[in-house]
Amino acid sequence: MINSNAKLNTKLFDADVEQVPIRKGFGEGLLAVGEADQNIVGLCADLTESTQMIFFKEKFPERFIEIGVAEQNLAGVASGMAAMGKIPFVSSYAMFSPGRNWEQIRTTICYNNQPVKIVGSHAGVSVGPDGGTHQAIEDIAIMRVIPRMVVISPCDSIEAKKATIAAAKNNTPVYIRLAREKTPVITTIDTPFEIGKAQVFFESEKPRVTIIATGALVYKALTAAKKLDGEGVGSIVINLATIKPLDEKTILDAVLKTGKVVTVEEHQVAGGLGSAIAELLAQRHPAHQEFVGVKDQFGQTGTMEELWEHFNMGEQGIIDAVKKVIARM
Amino acid sequence: MDTLTEDKIKALELKANDIRESIIDMLLEAKSGHTAGPLGMADIFATLYFHALRHDPKHPDWKDRDRVVLSNGHICPVLYAAMAHAGYFPVEELKTLRKFGSRLQGHPHREWLPSLETSSGPLASGLAQAVGMALAENIDAGRTSQKYIYCLMSDGEQESGAIWEAGMLAGKNRLHNLIGIIDRNNIQIDGFTEDVMPLEPFVDKWRAWNWHVIEIDGHNVRDISDAIHQAKAVFEKPSMIIAHTIPGKGVKEFERKYEWHGKPPNKEEAKMALDELRTLGGKIMSEHQ
């Protein structure tokens, strides 16, 4: 059953559910925080339109810095601007930032403790036809390992807008992960959002497994849970937008009820959301866990749906993982 | 900047000598660290901290201060020594360099020592941060800002693409209040820069990125001061001061030898170095003799 407290889109399971790219919410959010706070600056590495920073650039040209194809510089310049009191948002494809400029992010932003917001768009295999070179499926791992970095992976465009607004007010380095393709709008403006808080989106009467998902695949987790519920397999679905810091209470409360866990992410299973959950559970409440995600492979060309299916990350892949974890003794 | 009188020049040269003595003291105590670079940059740091900079050591967070970004963090003994002698923290604290719990971390960390502008160590990241500071200042104060951002770099790190990226952006944005100073001492860990990766024609590279370039003798206090004056007078471009220096300057035994890039002096070498520095190379009697 959909958790009514989450105030989700009432047309969630309709065939004509509204579909919007997650990255669009960032574009809208940045414009909103730019209007509210003069200290917001935007920096982009030659991808202003596709990362949706263009709306901020057009409204506030004096606060927009075009960096060019220079991602190391993107991070370092943002750190310097933050040192002078600015709140910089830097955007590129996740493959290039944080993919290419990890050391600059670690040293000039996190070690320096400058509140730079790194926005990695086109993450996951869902960027599709561009192929494996452009499919960032390692970014959560390399960001969450750096001390101080907050890692947020919104499930839809509305949540991405809220995450952008919250990140602007959060005086720490933040990584926001976005996706390119249109995906269903899951939440509404009334859905609660807070950095560091996970939300239960779905809970069956007798849940036997906790499905913890992030990003666009939260939708697949919900449709899988609905189908499983119809087959008599109850579950709890948690939307884990903030991967770091983890909302330990919400996760442990659910796992105490269900015992078993399936994690779902458009990312390598090594080092990502699933690993973060396993690290928590190993210490606090050891549980059987199945990992839905990419298993030590690179991506390839295809449509979003084809690739999700290929990597067993779609609805059927999640259903299979749930059945597998329930069968484990 | 005050007028540079002959007396002031002498005073700055003596400050540079004090800084060099402190560098030797620190490195002997720390038993690790870099010797050649810090000694070679002592004249520039003395000129900055005791003449050129607009700063207030008692109020390090003064909003209108000039900013100093040390990109090649490994030469931090010269930065720490200059800051201590200028009054940012007690000179005695210099002997805690690289020790557990010290504010003087092996490479600078601004959280341990908040009067630092940036943390540094991994090479070639300083210029981007300095460019960011200058861009932010331009947004706030416009292109007539009198707040200067200084970025001190080594020549070895000029091999990195990160420097090229930042150099191009600064030229594009005509950051008049950005002043780079490169320690052109021709050495890096693996040998002479022109053997490891030739930088020449070096001046041409910076000119090509639309910087105003000034070449100086990095041990001549008047040259250093004049170059900073000139950099401030150039309105349409950022300025790069390429300071030709002698690594290990001030201690004959250490000068020009890349072997001294990354090691500290032992007890005997330190004594020899301090004797030389305290007598200004034999020109005066040391009070310790």
For B242-271, give the DSSP string: EEE--TTTT-TTTTT-GGGSS----HHHHH
Please list the pLDDT of chain B residue by residue as tens digits (289 residues).
Answer: 788 999 999 999 999 999 999 999 999 999 999 999 999 999 999 999 999 999 999 999 999 999 999 999 999 999 999 999 999 999 999 999 999 999 999 999 999 999 999 999 999 999 999 999 999 999 999 888 899 999 999 999 999 999 999 999 999 999 999 999 999 999 999 999 999 999 999 999 999 999 999 999 999 999 999 999 999 999 999 999 999 999 999 999 999 988 898 899 999 999 999 999 998 767 776 555 4
| DSSP for residue A133 | G
Residue B287's pLDDT is: 55
Residue B232's pLDDT is: 96
pLDDT tens-digit map of A226-275: 999 999 999 999 999 999 999 999 999 999 999 999 999 999 999 999 99
Q: At what angle do helices A315-327 and A217-230 cross, to 10 degrees?
A: 60
Average pLDDT, chain A: 97
Nearest CA in chain B to A66: B169
Contacts of A78 in chain B (CB under 8 A): 132
For chain B, list residues whose CB is within 8 angstroms of any CB belonging to chain A. 67, 69, 109-111, 117-122, 125, 127-137, 139-140, 161-162, 165-166, 168-169
pLDDT tens-digit map of A109-122: 999 999 999 999 99
Q: Is the minimum CB–CB distance between A172 and chain B shorter than 8 Å?
A: no
Catalytic residue among A49, A66, A71, A309: A71
Residue B3's pLDDT is: 85
Residue B289's pLDDT is: 45
Closest Cα of chain A to B110: distance in Å? Answer: 7
B262 burial level (CB within 10 Å; 0-12, 13-18, 19+): middle
Contacts of A38 in chain B (CB under 8 A): none
Has A35 been annotated as catalytic? Answer: no
pTM score of the predicted model: 0.96
Contact state of A76 with B131 under an 8 Å Cβ cutoff: yes
How far is the C-alpha of B8 from the C-alpha of A243, rounded, in Å? 58
Residue A98's pLDDT is: 98
Nearest CA in chain A to B109: A112
Residue B143's pLDDT is: 82
Q: Are A266 and A123 contacting, i.e. CB atoms less than 8 angstroms apart?
A: yes
Reported ipTM: the value is 0.95
Which residues between 294 and 313 in chain A have a beta carbon less than 8 angstroms from any beta carbon of chain B?
Answer: none
Contact state of B109 with A41 under an 8 Å Cβ cutoff: no
Pick from A115, A112, A138, A110: which is nearest to A125 by CA? A138
Closest Cα of chain A to B92: distance in Å? Answer: 26
Residue B286's pLDDT is: 59
Closest residue to B125, CB basis, from A67, A88, A107: A107
| Arithmetic mean of pLDDT, A216-231 | 98
Residue B83 one-letter amino acid: M
